[in-house]
Amino acid sequence: MSSQSDKLAIFMTATDTGVGKTTITAALTLALQQRGQRVGVMKPVETGMDPQRQEHSDTDRLRSLLSPPPPFASICLYAFPQPLAPLACAREAGTTIDVSRIVSCFHDMTRHYSLLFVEGAGGVFTPITPTHTMRDLMVTLNLPALVVGRTSLGSVNHLLLTLEALQGVGIKTCGIALNEPVSHTRTSSRRQQQTSTVELIRELSTVPVFGPVGFQETLQTHWRKGVETLANHPEIQRLASHLIEKLP
C-alpha cells in the first residue's frame, strides 16, 4: 500500500467535489499525529484558489497542520484560480499539468513521512490532462484509495460507481469515510434517508465503512478548531486505528 516498503501512502478521493476530502484528510492527520505518527500531506492540484487569500486554500490549511509546515509549492504543484476541472484550468492558464512532476514530488515527500495522504481534486474521473484522470494518477502512484462520500440521496449510487471504477483498474480501497459537509434540517424524512443510505452502503460495499461524520459548524468560523474537534470524533479515531494497522 505504499511506494516504499517501510512507508504508507493513501490517495484521498471522493464521489464528487465538495464532499469534504480536505476536512477528513485534516482530521485524520491530527488523529494520527496524536498517536505519534509522522504524517505528510500532498494536494498536487488545487482549483478555485483565490491567489489573494492563499491562507484560506485547502493546501495552506493542510500544510498548517504539519510541523514544521513545508513550503506551499512542495505540497501543491499546480494552483489555479478558476473553479474548474484541472484540465480546463490548465488550458485557461496556457499550461499543461506534468504528471511525471507530481510523481517525482510524491517520491520526495515519502522520504520525510511515515504516512502520506495525497488528496485528489474532485472524483476519480476528474481530468488532469487530455490523457490522465485522477484515477490514472492513482494507478501511476500505485496507491490505495480512501473514498469520501456523502450520506444524502444518491450517495449509494455514487459510491458504488466509484468503487467499481477503482476495482476495474486494480486500485485497492482501504475504506469509505461518510461525511456531511453541509448542514441539513433534521427532519424525520432526512434522518430516514441518511439511515437507509448508510445501511445500504455498509451492506453493498466490500470495504470497511466509517462514519457518518456529522456537519461541524465550527469549520465555517474557526477551521482549525473545527478540525481538532473532528479529529476526536469516534469514527475518525476508528479510521485512524484502521490505517495504523496497515503500516508496515
- In the set 43, 172, 225, 246, the catalytic residue is 43
**Cβ atoms of residues 35 and 143 within 8 Å:** no
Reduced 3-state DSSP string for 52-80: HHHHHCHHHHHHCCCCCCCCHHHHCCEEC
Q: Which residues pair with 179 in a beta bridge?
A: 213
Nearest CA among 155, 153, 140, 110 for reference residue 248: 110
Nearest CA among 203, 212, 157, 223 for reference residue 184: 212
43 is annotated as an active-site residue: yes
Before 51, cis peptide (omega within 30)?
A: no
CA-CA distance, 118 to 141, in Å (whole number)?
Answer: 10
- The alpha carbon of residue 175 and the mean position of all alpha carbons in its chain are separated, in whole angstroms, by 12
CA-CA distance, 87 to 102, in Å (whole number)?
Answer: 15
Residues marked as catalytic? 43
